[in-house]
Structure 1
């Protein structure tokens, strides 16, 4: 969630701002199963989420684990009452974070992102917060792979572009001589 939000930025996407309006924010939330039945995102919500996006990027870029823990913890404390587990419709355990009733949409997202970042920091380390290896991308990701060797924020897009460019660079040039 953290990197998906960060990677909606025009700094990352050549297509420009991926969250230009409240409707785009609503789609982003729905894609992450975070749509709220009680309210539709407003322009104020959008502004707060865009500000949160910058905060999250700064946390991901920090090289100081203590700073990451402190800042991710601050995200959790924004509106968090407490994380817990509950069963989803399929009976599987999933995180459930209770937030204060008056919490803004951005604060609710901050809590979820903060809990996720703290979990990664504890189980995998700060070294798993990475920049995309593609020279044409400014994206970030959290490498949760077992081996810890992921290189691209969007392997299907960024990784494929690099592989195609490398393949083309290795091909012999044609068009020399002819019949």
Structure 2
């Protein structure tokens, strides 16, 4: 796998989204990554193609267990209190399978920095490198203040706000929609009692 350094938003999004697959966050629906098939859908949904799963090799139950451990680590990095802690945690993740950066041409012929992953790395190790590079890029480009917890009542989700405006407050659109619907209903009830 070659992780483009300039495209840190992918790794940062995977970090938050992976953390939010936990049954701790999804108390009503349970673990969002219970099976190898669910992991395959998660990776495809983020456009992530791991070398460890090349040639159509599906993830195994062991791969899923390793990714479950990784999601705890990813959450821990996103929840860090300081920028230095976030950087230290992201460096640990990026070193799982990340090798020295290389300068290579992208499909358009432009020079780009990439972090290749080690041959033979497991899916969780490659994913850790992607997340680590993404979180380092987010700290460098946007700052640690963009590492956030969801503000929706009762939600334990986390995310890295890579939006241009930096005003995101919900881990998913679903949390924002639920709160907006609840507020709308409350206003409607209040209006009908007058």
Check whether TM > 0.5.
Answer: yes
User: What is the match of residue 22 of structure 1?
Assistant: 36
Is the counterpart of residue 165 in structure 1 residue 185 in structure 2? no
User: What is the match of residue 96 of structure 2?
Assistant: 78
User: What is the match of residue 123 of structure 2?
Assistant: 105
Is the counterpart of residue 144 in structure 1 residue 162 in structure 2? yes
Q: Does the C-alpha gap of structure 1 residues 124 and 164 become closer, same or farther in structure 2, counting only changes over 3 Å?
A: same
RMSD: 2.2
* Mapped partners of 1:175, 1:70: distance in 2: 54
Would you say the 8 A contact 1:86–1:96 is kept in 2? no
Tell me how far 1:93 sits from its aligned partner.
8.2
TM-score computed with the length of structure 1 as normaliser: 0.87
Greater Rg over alpha carbons, structure: 1
Structure 2 segments unaligned to the other structure (5+ residues): 1-13
Tell me how far 1:97 sits from its aligned partner.
3.2
TM-score computed with the length of structure 2 as normaliser: 0.81
- Per-residue displacement from partner, 1:10-63 (whole Å, max 9, x unpaired)? 111221100001111111112222233232111111111000000010111111
Q: Considering Cα pairs closer than 8 Å and 6+ residues apart, tell me whether 1 or 2 has the greater RCO.
A: 2
Find the partner of 1:126 among 144, 160, 167: 144
Which range moved further: 118-127 or 96-105? 96-105
Q: Secondary structure at the match of 2:31?
A: coil
* Mapped partners of 1:42, 1:23: distance in 2: 9
* Mapped partners of 1:12, 1:133: distance in 2: 13
